[in-house]
Amino acid sequence: MIFSDMKPKDLKHPFLWEERRPLIEGRVFYVPDYYQEHHLFTFPIFEDPQIFGNTLPVHLEYCSGNGTWIVEKALSHPDTNWIAVERDFERVRKIVSKAHNENLSNLFVISGEAFTFTKHYVRDHSVERIYVNFPDPWPKEKHLDRRLLQSGFFRLLSTRLDEGGELWLTTDHEEYFGFAMQEARATGLYELIEGPPPPDTLDTKYGQRWQAEGIRINHVVFRMKSRDANPHPRRLEVVEVAHARLDGDLGTVTGFEKQVHEIENGHVVLLDCARSLDRERLRLEVIVDEADLRQEILIEVRETPSGIYVELSSFGRPAVTRGVRRAVVLVADWLAGCGLRKIETVG
């Protein structure tokens, strides 16, 4: 569809939730959430005419927001190809409309989650520079696992960056700044160079806001000095679904605290727990981070005449991996620690 003057609302989401799939439409690549068949879709190389059609260097921005910064960069640097990665579709609409109205052929937009896009669709040694400007710091303790710049992501990026490639981080959040540097140092793959933030980041919405409030803005360059030899040591094995059955009174389970459990090549995070209005069901939000896949899943605990069942929710069609099976068992273990009695565990 061609627009003479495109407004954000003119961009329509190309499929219903039930029909979600990886899709390139126009200058946008849609990477669906809660989707486990990325391996069936082959994303073109950046030199392909469907993407950029040239061999100019590629610069990528994660968490592009409304796109003001990256659109200005694409306009002022036509000798570089630019990729904007943004998960929120309302923000994607703003980026696409700005790029369309400026007739930018050197800007391509990714509507999807950063780690998923990078792992499944960005080829090795294909990106010269990465930018992360004022990312969401996820400051609450229970949300730390949602932060983008963690050691596993730095290891993955070392395989996607070109020789000597860099990641530039600019943030007002002191704790996240230190956290990201600690995570990068832990990999041993990067040289860290601290310095003043680039002037163009200070002219952004958040840069101007934090300066006006007198908040310090931090900047560091992560220069890749070596690559992770094997960031994903094995493909995940899909296994039979796990469940557990317990006996007792679910109403006596009244407290919950976030738990982090190490598993082979990753970890399981029991992140949050909510009780249904009828008080006969619990729903736990869980992150399963394994060597080849990161999933946000729901595990349900429900009372029945034959006992209290713990089982994986089908929402989002999660892949039933060893890590997911382990998550179900860990929820059952937590309930047993709250006073319920295990009758059966399959997993």
Mind telling me the catalytic residues?
136
- Angle between helix 68-76 and 89-101 (nearest 10): 30
CA geometry: angle 45, 46, 51, nearest 5 deg? 110
For 234-267, letters b (16+ CB in 10 Å) and e give eebeeeeebbbbbebebeebeebeeeeeebebbb
Distances (CA, A) of 7 to 3, 24, 86: 9, 20, 18
Distances (CA, A) of 329 to 14, 162, 249, 323: 38, 41, 19, 10
134 has which bridge partners?
none
DSSP character at residue 49: T
Asked whether 120 and 292 are in contact (CB, 8 A), the reply is no
